[in-house]
């Protein structure tokens, strides 16, 4: 026996789709299907977080999705753990840092040769670039949490944080994917930086289930604040200089 959701009368479970008392639909089969579906875990839209797959496939599938269909990547993000997206961001940041520093070392070496600089200058430049390569994972990790923290605060200010910090962290982590374009010399880093901005904004919009303008504003508010603070600072210095004169 079960109860009709419309009239509240007891109804025998005979498989009939309507209530014999009020004629309302019982949706017996649909309810059973919904109950079965609710017992299944919600599928994560990020391939990198599917631990049933080899990590190499997870990694490359996520990269492919980030470039081909960002909406599909961000629309079904889950909040199970933060370790996996952090690992992804560190891998991307490390690879991007190594490629970028490598090209810097290459072109810097050409510059020192063209300028006929001494060995000391060449060694100093090489050592600096190698330090950047070694510390790339640390820079990626620190940058991820600082960026995610700032953007989440901005989302809270504009009313766009619907699903918590973990989702913002994921938006920033998977938004770093275009950093791999640093493998292309000269223009790769610029294109990757622009696409990373777009991708992170899309990640916040679809992941936090908020309006596009809120995500855009949350991304650029820190820049606006910094520019405003800089203008005020220069104005105050000008006023003080005028008073001193």
Q: What is the pLDDT of residue 122?
A: 65
Q: Please list, in sequence order, all residues whose beta carbon lies within 8 angstroms of the beta carbon of residue 137, skipping any fewer than 6 positions away.
A: 90, 93, 94
List of the chain residues with pLDDT < 70: 1-9, 11-42, 106-122, 125, 245
Specify whether 7 is located in the same domain as 77: no
Phi, psi of 48 (to 5 degrees): -65, -20
Provide the CB-side half-sphere exposure for 158 (13 A, CA): 22
Q: What is the pLDDT of residue 74?
A: 93
Q: What is the pLDDT of residue 14?
A: 56
Specify whether 103 is located in the same domain as 191: yes
Q: Is residue 44 part of a domain?
A: no
Specify whether 20 is located in the same domain as 94: no
Specify whether 217 is located in the same domain as 240: yes
Specify whether 101 is located in the same domain as 18: no
For residue 19, the enclosing domain spans 2-38
Q: Is residue 43 part of a domain?
A: no
Question: How many domains are there within the chain?
Answer: 2
Burial of 93 (C-beta count, 10 Å sphere; 0-12/13-18/19+): buried
Specify whether 117 is located in the same domain as 19: no
Q: What is the pLDDT of residue 16?
A: 53
Q: What is the pLDDT of residue 116?
A: 59
Q: Is residue 182 part of a domain?
A: yes
Answer yes or no: are the C-beta atoms of 167 and 77 closer than 8 Å: yes
Specify whether 25 is located in the same domain as 103: no
Q: Is residue 208 part of a domain?
A: yes
Specify whether 28 is located in the same domain as 88: no
């Amino acid at each position: 026996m079960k109860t009709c959701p419309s009239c509240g009368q007891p109804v025998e479970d005979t498989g009939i789709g309507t209530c014999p008392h009020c004629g309302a639909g019982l949706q017996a089969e649909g309810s059973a299907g919904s109950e079965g579906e609710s017992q299944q875990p919600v599928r994560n839209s990020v391939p990198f977080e599917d631990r049933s797959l080899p990590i190499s496939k997870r990694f490359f599938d996520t990269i492919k999705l980030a470039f081909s269909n960002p909406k599909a990547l961000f629309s079904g993000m889950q909040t199970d753990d933060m370790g996996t997206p952090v690992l992804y961001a560190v891998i991307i940041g490390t690879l991007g840092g190594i490629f970028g520093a490598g090209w810097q070392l290459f072109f810097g070496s050409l510059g020192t040769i063209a300028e006929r600089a001494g060995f000391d200058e060449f060694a100093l430049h090489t050592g600096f670039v190698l330090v950047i390569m070694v510390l790339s994972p640390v820079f990626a990790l620190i940058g991820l949490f600082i960026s995610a923290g700032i953007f989440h605060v901005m989302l809270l200010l504009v009313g766009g944080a619907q699903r918590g910090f973990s989702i913002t962290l994921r938006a920033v982590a998977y938004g770093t994917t275009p950093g791999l374009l640093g493998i292309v010399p000269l223009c790769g880093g610029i294109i990757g930086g622009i696409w990373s901005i777009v991708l992170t904004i899309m990640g916040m919009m679809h992941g936090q289930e908020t309006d596009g303008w809120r995500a855009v504003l949350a991304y650029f508010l820190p820049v606006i604040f910094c520019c405003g603070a800089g203008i005020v600072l220069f104005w105050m210095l000008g006023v003080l200089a005028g008073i001193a004169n």
